[in-house]
Amino acid sequence: MTEIIFVVEESPEGGFEAKALGHSIFTDGDTMEEIKSNVREAVHCHFEENIPKLIRLHFVKEEVIAA
CA separation for the pair 24, 14 (Å, rounded): 22
Give CA–CA dist 33/37, Å, rounded.
Answer: 6
The answer to whether residue 62 scores a pLDDT higher than 90 is no
Residue 63 confidence (pLDDT): 86
Give tens-digit pLDDT for 27-50: 999 999 999 999 999 999 999 888
Domain coordinates in residue numbering, the chain? 3-60
DSSP at 12: T
Decide which of 39 and 61 is more confident. Answer: 39
- The DSSP bridge pattern shows strands 26-29 and 16-20 to be antiparallel
For the whole prediction, is pTM greater than 0.75? yes
The count of other CB atoms within 10 Å of the CB of residue 64 is 4
